[in-house]
Amino acid sequence: MKYFFFSLLLFTAAAQATQALTEFKSPEQRALFKELTHELRCPKCQNQNIADSNAVVAVDMRAKTLELVQQGQNKEQVLDYMKSRYGDFVHYQPPLNKFTLILWLLPALMVCGLIVLLLLRRRADRGAAATDPDDKTQSQPEQQLEQQLDQLIEQYRRKS
């Protein structure tokens, strides 16, 4: 089992160059090509990336991506190239602008909002449980009693 795991490292050095369908100058280029073909969307398909689609435009986009990557362009450049021809639609990561900011902002707000909601609700629940919601001092002896009760319960459970 261990030896299997060792060999996972070997993949980058694996001698497949003579038989690979496409040649890359470096494993980084190969990885970039794979990343790009998974992040670029086929503009004519029913929601597929260009790696998975066989539509003519997807094949053309793949060929072009290959060409640009082999020329040494980076991810930014290839994406810009594609977007300037096919629009933002063709990248599966939405652009970051003041309209799309909401995509990241709303979830963050939700987390904060739900935390606040918990604190408010806890106060309301606690208030409803006590006879006088605004009188905090009254809850003290109640709390002590509850703590004693909890301790008794704990002892009882340990014994049983």
End-to-end CA distance of the chain: 45
Question: In the complex with another protein, which residue's Cβ is closer, 15 or 134?
Answer: 15
Which pair of tokens denotes residue 133?
């919601």
Interface size with another protein, residues (CB under 8 A): 77
CA distance 134 to 16: 75
Give yes or no for residue 90 binding another protein (CB under 8 A): yes
Q: Under rule CB under 8 A, which residues in 69-88 are in contact with another protein?
A: 83-88
Interhelix angle for 56-70 vs 75-86, to 10°? 150
Least distance in Å: CB of 75 to another protein? 11
Residue that the structure tokens 């003519």 belong to: 56
Beta bridge partners of 28: none
Give yes or no for residue 125 binding another protein (CB under 8 A): yes
Give yes or no for residue 118 binding another protein (CB under 8 A): yes
Residue 146: C-alpha distances to residues 24, 141, 150 (Å): 70, 9, 6
Question: In the complex with another protein, which residue's Cβ is closer, 72 or 103?
Answer: 103
Give yes or no for residue 56 binding another protein (CB under 8 A): yes
Which member of 29, 32, 36, 41 binds another protein (CB under 8 A)? 41
Which member of 23, 59, 77, 136 binds another protein (CB under 8 A)? 59
